[in-house]
Amino acid sequence: MPTFEEARSIILDRVAPLGVERVGLLDALGRVIAEDVVAPWDMPLCDNSAMDGFAVRAADCAATPVSLNVTGYIPAGGEVNGSVEPGCAIRIMTGAPIPPGCDAVVPVEETEDGGAAVIVREPVKPRQHIRFRGEDVAAGDLVIPAGTMIRPPEISMLASFGKAVVPVQRRAQVAILSTGDELIELGEPPVPGKIINSNALSLAASVKEIGAVPLILGIARDNPESHREKMIEGLKADALITSAGVSAGDRDFVREVLAELGVSQLFWRVDIKPGGPTAFGVKDGKPVFSLPGNPVSTMVTFEEFVRPALLKMMGHRRVIKPFIRAVLQGEVRKKPGKINFLRVRLASADGRYLAYSSGDQNTGILKTMLLADAIAVLPADRTSFAPGEEVDVHILSGNVEMLEG
Ligand code: AMP
Ligand code: MG
């Protein structure tokens, strides 16, 4: 049985980026850029004013206050229509091109209106308040290396360089298959003994959340024929996720039918709780994740195993969430032998994270998953954790509550 880290490495070693497509700039948000982006021109493209004020010659303002004749006006987006002659100034707006002769801009706040003249009150340094051509980026500079995830700042840079269409790594199409005779679909009336197929929705949501595309296949019933039919469909996608039917029960057909369809199993069962029965296999380079059926186990194993793999397939370089240290706020006991994923609520106080158990950690309890901000990863060999002890957690999503210091 692999350890948690071993299982994750086995998965990550087997998946690779899917390929490249070109999309409109805004659709590139959250995607990974597939090629280096080199600046096609200088930014800014010309020297321009950083302030609303007056374009001057610094030498004229060596001794202040000084009065300069105002001989022109250049608004933002306007054109230069004269040069700054000695003893003169041109009124200029932020972003407007710097006229010849000018080597400094005086902000309007440091001047007084003198009718046809302007009185400069403060001393002026050469080059002040001018944004010089190419000072941000020079033509030919590498501005975004291939492999970078596109966020609003990357969108800004790409837009500034006129990139309306960008090459990005493909999104993964992820087939989602639920298994079990007890399942009914969302919309059907509740019946004792039946369970609504919520895993299909939580998995689809998790897939969507990371920018991949879910394909919900519905329910395979607890017989090999039904599994086969759905799995053949699922293996056409970039990845297949199944839920339930992966334990050792006599009605658990997931592994058996996957094997029959040519999926080679790389592991079954991992040294973790919840999520122990998880299996992983590949067929023709396509990953197949067989997750346990309990909704909490399904979500936790998606988070720990499937999410990093799908991110890697979509070209991301950073696929594993970093651990942060959090101070445990109550005693926790566990059995030795397995890593435990503890659902915790987080708060922040005095610059430290505090971790509170979100409640009943039984695999069958869904509500404590909703109350969890993070998963604490408790080492296999340990059995008890004292309040005040630091544990490794990784944040699931959302913002953390701030406590008064
Ligand atoms: P199994 O691994 O097949 O024994 O399933 C374990 C438990 O997970 C079942 O008893 C159900 O309560 C639950 N379960 C299985 N599939 C789903 C599903 N698609 N949605 C919600 N709960 C499920
Ligand atoms: Mg079952």
149 or 399, which is more confident: 149
Contact 178, 33 (CB under 8 A): no
Which atom of ligand 1 is closest in space to residue 294's alpha carbon?
8
Give the pLDDT score at 398.
Answer: 79
**Other residues' Cβ atoms within 10 Å of the Cβ of residue 280:** 25
Handedness of CA 255, 261, 267, 272 (dihedral sign): negative
At 250, list the tokens: 């006599």
Confirm whether 244 is domain-assigned.
yes
Distance CA(15)–CA(17), nearest Å, equals 7
CA angle at residue 14 from 13 to 16, to 5 degrees?
A: 90
Distance CA(19)–CA(359), nearest Å, equals 43
Give the pLDDT score at 397.
Answer: 79
Confirm whether 405 is domain-assigned.
no
- Please name which ligand lies nearest the alpha carbon of 221: 2
Within this chain, do residues 183 and 152 fall inside the same structural domain, yes or no?
A: no
pLDDT at 352 over 70: yes
pLDDT at 113 over 70: yes
pLDDT at 236 over 90: yes
Q: Which of 266, 290, 313 is the last residue of a domain?
A: 313
**Other residues' Cβ atoms within 10 Å of the Cβ of residue 189:** 7
Confirm whether 403 is domain-assigned.
no
Within this chain, do residues 164 and 175 fall inside the same structural domain, yes or no?
A: no
pLDDT at 404 over 80: no
235 Cα–ligand 1 center, Å: 22
| CATH number of the domain where residue 157 is located | 3.90.105.10
Q: Which of 313, 336, 362 is the last residue of a domain?
A: 313
| CATH number of the domain where residue 296 is located | 3.40.980.10
Confirm whether 192 is domain-assigned.
yes
Within this chain, do residues 180 and 244 fall inside the same structural domain, yes or no?
A: yes
Across-strand partners of 254? none
Contact 168, 34 (CB under 8 A): yes
- Cα-flanking dihedrals φ and ψ of residue 239, to 5°? -155, 155
Q: Where are the beta strands (DSSP E) in 75-108?
A: 88-92, 104-107
Residue with tokens 């298994």: 179
Confirm whether 318 is domain-assigned.
no
Within this chain, do residues 52 and 37 fall inside the same structural domain, yes or no?
A: no
Domain count, the chain: 4
Is the pTM higher than 0.85?
yes
At 385, list the tokens: 């954790």
Within this chain, do residues 270 and 285 fall inside the same structural domain, yes or no?
A: yes
Within this chain, do residues 255 and 212 fall inside the same structural domain, yes or no?
A: yes
Within this chain, do residues 189 and 296 fall inside the same structural domain, yes or no?
A: yes
Confirm whether 138 is domain-assigned.
no
Within this chain, do residues 300 and 358 fall inside the same structural domain, yes or no?
A: no
Across-strand partners of 24? 165
244 Cα–ligand 1 center, Å: 5
Structural domain of 375: 324-395
Contact 233, 284 (CB under 8 A): no
| CATH number of the domain where residue 390 is located | 2.40.340.10
pLDDT, tens digit, for every residue of 63-101?
999 999 999 999 999 999 899 999 999 999 999 999 999
Within this chain, do residues 118 and 206 fall inside the same structural domain, yes or no?
A: no
375 Cα–ligand 2 center, Å: 26
Within this chain, do residues 278 and 329 fall inside the same structural domain, yes or no?
A: no
| CATH number of the domain where residue 67 is located | 2.170.190.11
Distance CA(38)–CA(137), nearest Å, equals 10
Q: Which of 259, 283, 313 is the last residue of a domain?
A: 313
- Cα-flanking dihedrals φ and ψ of residue 155, to 5°? -60, -45
Give the pLDDT score at 81.
Answer: 87
Within this chain, do residues 56 and 110 fall inside the same structural domain, yes or no?
A: yes
Percentage, residues of the chain above pLDDT 70: 100
pLDDT at 199 over 90: yes
Which atom of ligand 1 is closest in space to residue 251's alpha carbon?
3
Distance CA(102)–CA(119), nearest Å, equals 17
Give the pLDDT score at 307.
Answer: 98
Residue with tokens 């966020």: 151
Within this chain, do residues 175 and 165 fall inside the same structural domain, yes or no?
A: no
Give the pLDDT score at 405.
Answer: 58
Confirm whether 286 is domain-assigned.
yes
Pocket of ligand 1 (CB under 6 A): 178, 180, 183, 195, 197-200, 243-245, 247, 292-295
Confirm whether 268 is domain-assigned.
yes
